[in-house]
């Protein structure tokens, strides 16, 4: 009751603000019209500003004192102004800026932040821009989150080099990863896919916690990571990146664009990398990093017509890895323990959008995806073979009911999966057909925006699944936003590939028959407050999310020391995630971000609630970024301090060293210096500069084929300091 009284009080006494929304187009001298991304809208009265998103849309909160003059600007186009009064509150407008062919000088009028929280979105969406990705080596997706506190990237074992993301303390399989809202890294790809996408191809990354919109599918459980790749209409004419580090890893990345016609553009992306030398810094007889080879290629096309837009492309890669004892080679018969992994992938994707001439607020979009993947792996004497065929289609109608305060989305989807997983004599084939339908209603009021959605999916193996979702945003003041989210998601566990790192042990697998689909319920909220710090814009965010599961697939490592037991949990399993982050502009070109995260992730093992293994309960985060006045030098440093995590038990006779039940608190420091010279960037950096290394990461490494060998008890780096250098070259469109 008190909460309702507080909300009512805020509704009554809060100042009257208005959300002015709209879209900005750019018109060229040849008559073409395009959405303007990063166009700036500035209030002449308060000097506050916002920028448009990739579709040219913007939303700005008008002050309580009107009239005011808004200034619209975009590089290469003539500025325009608009006087807004009280009657313009909550209006929707269209602005057209005209190309300016004669530019006497170039004036930088604002600094675009590389890390931000969108005020436009109902959900809490954290965006990492291209500038943020440049702060780290960023040679693949697993390294793209080094300057971010919301996403953790962990090694799954000490010999395969595989990495997985974690959000809210939950395994990466519970996080939807999408490439421009197309499903990505599902099934076989989830185990090793983070190394397949070069970070230089990525334009931005959007991170959403909790359940996503029903449009994105039924697997949104812990959160969503959406990758926006560089697009032919806006990317560099040619880009080249070369990278090398002290461990012997070398990498080449390139991409470029070609304007085929007025309506068609294409982009070509290439990548090649490898690690060709053995690294065994801890002298345990095992490679700290597997030797590897990787090649990736992507070709995408963009079509812009009067009433139709389309994007289509092909993405493929090949990867091979060899780890294990030094001297091991998969091509030679030997008595050495080795790990070899080979991934082959190809997928076709397309998105088409249709606009209505007489109904500008209505459109139909269709997303298509076809994928084929094989994964073959050897862990010692154990052999895994996987093959996956996947098809996906999602048709979406977007419109309004009466006026733009009432929006509606609806559509149909279909998922087809043909997945084969073979481990030694164990064979787990599965064919899925999942037709689905969804609807979503959006209400945009004076200060409240609510999104109510639901989807129903019929799974041929697990029956009908209903997924309701609700998201709300309340603007208490011009600078303070409250958000709330709740919803249900489900997924089908891929028992072997989801846990393939557990093959790096000597234990047997005992899998319960008739494994069921996992179901999660998530509820959470956030507070985002903007404020002035030393007369500059700063913000603080606080969020909390609670997730609980039905039928969660649990791996019990502690019933006995000889087996892993896989089964659906009938007891309790939950995750509590709390995070607070503050961004402070100390100086005009010096930004500081501080964050703290607490995770309480538990499940019932043998009738007893216990913390999940390998999940640090706490993490501290500090990022410092400085750019010189002439923008020739960029400095960045990130310090993460990881708290203790529970470790799974091992047989005490397995090692001569003492066995801890908890990991230790440890720091990771990364830093980079970049020099910008015309079209060239030269950078040097270091990772794990504190040189923290986990001791005795392997259990019983002297007997890798014995009963006690275990390479999955890794919770910290094992290879020590890494130093890297690189160069970038950009040739922008003339």
Q: How far apart are CA 613 and CA 608, in angstroms?
A: 14
Q: What is the pLDDT of residues 304-322, one digit of tens each?
A: 887 888 999 999 999 999 9
117-731 and 2-110 share a CATH fold = no
Distances 53 to 37, 69, 293, 449, 469 between C-alpha atoms, Å: 5, 21, 37, 19, 25
SS3 13: helix
Q: How far apart are CA 449 and CA 122, in angstroms?
A: 7
pLDDT of residue 191: 87
pLDDT of residue 407: 92
Residue in 97, 101, 100 with CA at minimum distance from that of residue 25: 97
pLDDT of residue 575: 96
Q: How far apart are CA 57 and CA 54, in angstroms?
A: 7
SS3 53: coil
Residue in 545, 526, 660, 542 with CA at minimum distance from that of residue 599: 545
SS3 150: coil
The residue ranges of every structural domain in the chain are 2-110, 117-731
Residue in 583, 449, 467 with CA at minimum distance from that of residue 121: 449
Parts of the chain with a pLDDT under 70: 1-18, 29-31, 90, 100-113, 138, 606, 651-658, 733-734
Q: Which fold has domain 117-731?
A: Maltoporin; Chain A (2.40.170)
Q: What is the pLDDT of residues 585-599, one digit of tens each?
A: 988 889 999 999 999
CA 193 to chain centre: 13
Q: Which two tokens stand for residue 356?
A: 């209505």
pLDDT of residue 719: 87
pLDDT of residue 394: 97
pLDDT of residue 264: 93
The three state secondary structure string of 523-555 is EEEEEEEEEEECCEEEEEEEEEEEEEEECCEEE
pLDDT of residue 104: 45
Residue in 289, 82, 168 with CA at minimum distance from that of residue 612: 168
Q: Which fold has domain 2-110?
A: Immunoglobulin-like (2.60.40)
Distances 536 to 122, 413, 587 between C-alpha atoms, Å: 25, 46, 9
pLDDT of residue 544: 97
């Amino acid at each position: 009751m008190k909460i309702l009284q507080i909300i009512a009080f805020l509704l009554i006494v809060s100042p009257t603000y208005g959300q002015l929304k709209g879209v900005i187009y750019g018109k060229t001298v040849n008559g073409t019209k395009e959405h303007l991304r990063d166009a700036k809208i500035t209030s002449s009265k308060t000097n506050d500003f916002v920028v448009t998103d990739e579709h040219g849309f913007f939303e700005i909160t008008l002050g309580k004192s009107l009239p005011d003059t808004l200034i619209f600007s975009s590089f290469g186009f003539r500025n325009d102004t608009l006087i807004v009064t009280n009657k313009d509150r909550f209006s929707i407008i269209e602005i057209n800026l005209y190309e300016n062919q004669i530019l006497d000088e170039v004036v930088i009028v604002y600094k675009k932040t590389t890390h931000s929280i969108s005020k436009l979105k109902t959900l809490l969406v954290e965006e990492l821009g291209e500038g943020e990705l440049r702060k780290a080596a960023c040679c693949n997706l697993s390294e793209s989150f080094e300057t971010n506190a919301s996403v953790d990237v962990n090694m799954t074992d000490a010999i395969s080099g595989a990495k997985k993301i974690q959000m809210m303390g939950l395994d990466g399989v519970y996080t939807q990863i999408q490439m421009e809202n197309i499903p990505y890294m599902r099934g076989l790809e989830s185990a090793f896919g983070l190394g397949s996408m070069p970070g230089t191809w990525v334009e931005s990354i959007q991170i959403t916690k909790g359940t996503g919109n029903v449009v994105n599918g039924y697997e949104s459980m812990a959160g969503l990571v959406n990758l926006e790749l560089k697009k032919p209409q806006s990317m560099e004419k040619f880009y080249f990146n070369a990278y090398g580090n002290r461990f012997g890893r070398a990498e080449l990345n390139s991409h470029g664009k070609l304007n085929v016609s007025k309506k068609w553009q294409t982009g070509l992306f290439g990548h090649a990398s490898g690690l060709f030398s053995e690294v065994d810094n801890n002298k345990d007889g095992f490679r700290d990093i597997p030797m590897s080879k990787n090649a990736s290629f992507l070709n995408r096309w963009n079509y812009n017509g009067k009433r139709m837009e389309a994007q289509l492309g092909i993405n493929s890669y090949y990867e091979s890895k060899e780890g294990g004892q030094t001297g091991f080679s998969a091509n030679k018969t030997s008595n050495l323990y080795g790990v070899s992994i080979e991934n082959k992938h190809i997928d076709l994707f397309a998105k088409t959008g249709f606009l209505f001439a007489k109904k500008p607020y209505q459109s139909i979009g269709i997303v298509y995806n076809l994928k084929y993947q094989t994964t073959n792996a050897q862990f010692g004497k154990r052999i895994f073979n996987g093959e996956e065929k996947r098809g996906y289609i999602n048709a979406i109608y977007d419109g309004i009911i009466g006026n733009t305060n009432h929006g509606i989305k609806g559509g149909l989807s279909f998922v087809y999966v043909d997945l084969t997983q073979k481990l030694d004599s164990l064979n787990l084939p599965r064919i899925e057909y999942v037709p689905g339908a969804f609807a979503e209603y959006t209400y945009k009021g004076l200060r409240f925006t609510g999104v109510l959605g639901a989807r129903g999916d019929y799974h041929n193996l697990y029956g009908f699944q209903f997924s309701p979702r609700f998201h709300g945003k309340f603007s208490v003041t011009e600078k303070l936003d409250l958000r709330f989210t709740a919803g249900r998601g489900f997924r089908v566990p891929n028992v072997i590939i989801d846990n393939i790192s557990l093959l790096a042990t000597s234990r047997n697998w005992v899998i319960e028959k008739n494994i069921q689909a996992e179901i999660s319920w998530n509820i959470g909220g956030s507070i985002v407050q903007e404020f002035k710090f030393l007369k500059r814009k700063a913000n603080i965010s606080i969020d909390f999310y609670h997730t609980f599961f039905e039928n969660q697939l649990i791996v019990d490592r502690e019933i006995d020391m000889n087996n892993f037991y896989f089964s659906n949990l009938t007891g309790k399993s939950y995750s509590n995630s709390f995070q607070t982050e503050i961004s402070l502009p100390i100086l005009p070109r010096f930004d500081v971000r501080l964050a703290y995260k607490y995770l309480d992730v538990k499940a019932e093992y043998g009738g007893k609630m216990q913390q999940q293994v390998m999940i640090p309960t706490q993490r501290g985060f500090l990022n410092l970024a400085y750019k010189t006045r002439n923008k020739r030098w960029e400095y960045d440093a990130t310090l993460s301090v990881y708290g203790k995590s529970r470790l799974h038990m091992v047989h005490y006779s397995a090692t001569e060293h003492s066995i801890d039940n908890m990991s230790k608190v440890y720091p990771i420091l990364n830093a980079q210096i970049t020099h910008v010279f015309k079209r060239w960037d030269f950078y040097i950096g270091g990772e794990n500069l504190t040189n923290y290394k986990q001791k005795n990461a392997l259990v019983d490494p002297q007997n890798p084929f014995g009963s006690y060998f275990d390479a999955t008890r890794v919770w910290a780096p094992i290879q020590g300091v890494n130093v890297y250098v690189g160069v970038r070259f950009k040739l922008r469109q003339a």
